Amino acid sequence: MDQYELYCLADPHFYDTLPQSGAPGADFAVTRRPVPEGWAHQPTDTWMYYAPTGEPPLPAQGWKIHVSARVDDAERALAAVWDYCVPRGIAFKFLRGAPVVIMLNSKAASRASSGKLVTIYPRDEGRLELILKELHELLHGVTGPYILSDLRYGEGPLFVRYGGFAERHTLSGAGERVLAVEDGDGRLVPDVRNAIFSVPPWTTLPAFLEPHLAARNAVTTTGLPYQVENVLHFSNGGGVYLARDTRTGERVVLKEARPHAGLDAAGRDAVARLAHERDILARLAGLPAAPALRDYFALGEHRFLVMEFIDGNPLQRRLVQRYPFTRADCDAGEVAEYTGWALATLERVQRAVDSLHERGVVFGDLHPDNILITTDAETGEERVVLIDYEVATLAGEGARAALAHPAFSAPPDRQGVEVDDYAMACLRLGLFAPQCTIMLPLHRTKARHLGTLVSETFPVPSAVIDTAISAIEGDAGDRTGAEGGTAGGDPLAESPLTDASPALAGTAVEIPVPNGFTAESPVLAGSAVDMPVSNGSAAESPVREGFTAGFPVLGGSAAGGPGGEDAMADLPIPGAAPWDELRDAMGRAIAAAATPGRQDRLFPGDIAQFRPGRGLSVAYGAAGVLYALAEAGLPTDPAHHDWLRARAKDPEPGSGLGFYDGLHGVAHVLHRLGHRSDALDLLDVCLREKWEDLEPALSTGLSGLGLNLMHLGAATGETELTRAAHRAVDICAERLGGPEDVPETSGGTNPRAGLMHGASGPALLFLAAHRRTADPALLDLAGTAIRQDLRRCRRAADGSLQVNQGWRLLPYLDEGSVGIGVVLAEYLALREDPELAAELDALRMVARSGFFVQPGLFTGRAGIIAALGAGLRGPDAGDHPDPLIDRQVRGLAWHALPYRGGLAFPGDQLLRLSMDFATGTAGVLFALATVMSGRPVRLPLLPAATPRPVGHEYGKEV
């Protein structure tokens, strides 16, 4: 699963799985039952699987049963399912504990999978009907969220969906490996799991389920006085819709709440929070900083709040549009202009928050997506309106919000208005250092360092920074705390609005919307303006709304962070420290984080390392970390070699074969570390698999395999490897097509562009083959592949060329423009092409951007540095200092953090530290080695580089 929040529960410093936490009471009581005799049991980080061993194999796919239950009913439901299924030999699985249930039913959780506590696997439709009938009686009284992907059986907690039983995979339209089922012709197709029930076209709904489908379709919006015009936002708690009141013509916002879904850390569901928001808005009636309350009604089991529509833009969007360092070049005047706007905006936001406090309300969820900037119709000036009051509290209660954005979520010692004061302080920094305050829970004193960087970058008055740091660090003087707010402890007045109609039990609600609007529509948060395509290096939030703030970390708290309160001040910082100090400090952090006693991973990294085999991989596992250490000139621990070698001898089932995600990359690193025999043994395992069916991608597919086989074939003299490499070249050539045989956008349902997943990977393979054969046809193929990726790029407002995803532009190494630029530079070194040379200049412009939200190699600043080190800076750069490299090295300071006497960096989403190659400290170490070490270090699988003298310490003043 790909929900970072779940992997924050086990450890305060690193992403981790719950089984490693050792926290008592995290799992349900049923997990402590002995495994029945004749049964197999397999635990994972989220699920507990049970299946009888003496029964014939289950079919590969069919109608499965899901049991939904709220947390309070979960133990009872699980006991009933166990007691029913075990004696009857029925395979099942269930979520292992309440923390997992809450996270998978939280506001930010996937709508397609939310609500599923138990999955049961009937052998045929006859048993499907019998199990549903009997369990329906046994589970009477159990309630839970409606499973949107399924059909409900009766009015209880049972649901059904057709899907895979066995774990099989195929490639999606975007070239990604996804779960699969067989269609009517026996072909593997994606096992689609949408937030709406559907029957695959090759099968039919069992007849006994027809009445249940009819009941589901019986509830409609006919008769409501509101016509939906647009989807503004979907969360697991419900949708937000732009609508028109058909009685008055007024445009309004409908906010939906699903029962038992969208849980917060206090266990409240979306319905409870929506009713609370209704009451808060009633209390704030007439306040310019809050939308006016219009109505509240029920439809089926869902509740709807009707609010005034505010025709404005979220502050987050204004930030993305205006932040000067997202552009290739900006001057002092633009920086000063932005600073003036930001300071004026902060004053308006502060006045809006103060006006809430005067009514005795603590907003509780202050962040740029909940702040709308609109224009006052009378004065023409910008006005601030705060939206989303579902976690607001009364100042006199001294309570804390149970949902919050992690970049603005106050630590546990703040209550009442202090929660808003902390968020406001983070906003004062965050408008100048976007998303960086997400890192503060990892080390609170990072705030002071951020303040210094902001002061050095923007002409911000020192009083603004000092006030923010004081509030964040907790020494703001007299705290109003629970006593804040003029309304004190006055209870909420009863709302004059109540449910307009009784709930229709047992039904789900589908809101009809115009064609073209889906759950993937941009999050507009109350605005009718479409999200503009924006620079991926911009201050876009990498974090979902609705992070379950306040849920206890089972492994404890990071508090001041490892290394103590003074660790930040003693840290070697990129841009201030020389290469050897930076290298050694990152090496210390990586070594301190190693866990050789674990079986699944050696070094903590991204959540992707918990997929089968990824803990060994180059991108996310031990191989990539050891590779980075070796390339940077640091010693590697022989015990860590042994860890990798032992697991490479017996790869985990389901391990990928790719270079960055799987076993080919592991073999490459084993050979790099001197373990030739282990590398060849592992390659033998890889070549016995059906590798020819893989996608062309560098990270996961044929181009990465071909390059690795070509390299190791030459290095070892093993001709079988070379022959296999040539076969990979031939297959990629056969599948390539022409320059226009790809869509003009990347990702979504389309194949992705870029170095790791796009046509640039095959282009790199063709170039390597050309170097060995001098065949000009291979250069032709490389040019075609590069043009395919360039077709999926578009120019940003600053003239830079970036990968176009339709709703944003990406500059990054993995799926962005600099990755394409690295390969294009290799191509132009072999063949002159003025047209493509001009495109390379436009791709290079991205490296002039001053800010990137994340520091990592694949999707952050380190990737920009590594691309420059790999030749993106141009063929005439030579060995003299490069101001682009200097700027990017200094920029790493924004994300530098201490860890146990060393220097570390946060991973993707910035919520936890990472030591891996793709997202974390090892990748930053490697990137700096390409430009600072004086060693011939380049990205893996690129042609060898010549050493450069250590003539310049990038980032230091000279």
Provide the 3-class DSSP secondary structure of residue 180.
strand
User: How far is Cα 465 from Cα 468, in angstroms, rounded to an integer?
Assistant: 5
User: How far is Cα 685 from Cα 473, in angstroms, rounded to an integer?
Assistant: 54
User: How far is Cα 312 from Cα 345, in angstroms, rounded to an integer?
Assistant: 14
Q: Which amino acid is at 272?
A: A
Strands (DSSP E) contained in 529-623 are none
- How many degrees, rounded to 5, is the angle at CA 909 between CA 907 and CA 915? 10
The answer to whether 816 and 768 have CB atoms below 8 angstroms apart is no
The answer to whether 670 and 621 have CB atoms below 8 angstroms apart is no
Q: Which amino acid is at 709?
A: L
- Residues contacting 301, CB < 8 A, separation 6+: 146, 258, 259, 503, 504, 505, 506, 507, 508, 509
DSSP result, 405-441: -TTTPPPTT--THHHHHHHHHHHHHHTTSTTGGGGGG
User: How far is Cα 718 from Cα 681, in angstroms, rounded to an integer?
Assistant: 12
Q: Closest Cα to residue 846, out of 864, 866, 828?
A: 864
End-to-end CA distance of the chain: 47
User: How far is Cα 681 from Cα 648, in angstroms, rounded to an integer?
Assistant: 9
Q: What are the respective helix, strand and coil percentages of the chain, to the nearest 5?
A: 40, 15, 50
Give me the catalytic one of 150, 279, 365, 606: 365
- Asked if 365 is an active-site residue, the reply is yes
> Dihedral (C-alpha) 496, 502, 503, 504: value to the nearest 10 degrees?
-160
User: How far is Cα 754 from Cα 821, in angstroms, rounded to an integer?
Assistant: 9
The secondary structure element, H or E, covering residue 899 is: strand 897-899
Provide the 3-class DSSP secondary structure of residue 886.
helix
The strand order across the sheet containing 302-308 reads 226-235, 238-245, 251-257, 302-308, 293-299
Q: Closest Cα to residue 320, out of 839, 734, 796, 768?
A: 796
User: How far is Cα 48 from Cα 85, in angstroms, rounded to an integer?
Assistant: 14
Q: Which amino acid is at 559?
A: A
Provide the 3-class DSSP secondary structure of residue 839.
helix
User: How far is Cα 332 from Cα 394, in angstroms, rounded to an integer?
Assistant: 43
Q: What are phi and psi of 171, to 5 degrees?
A: -95, 135
User: How far is Cα 845 from Cα 867, in angstroms, rounded to an integer?
Assistant: 12
- Residues contacting 283, CB < 8 A, separation 6+: 359, 360, 361, 492, 493
Q: Closest Cα to residue 528, out of 241, 727, 277, 823?
A: 241
- Residues contacting 343, CB < 8 A, separation 6+: 460, 461, 464
DSSP result, 256-279: EE-TT-SB-TT---HHHHHHHHHH
Q: What would the two tokens of residue 580 be?
A: 């050897």
**Residues with active-site annotation:** 365
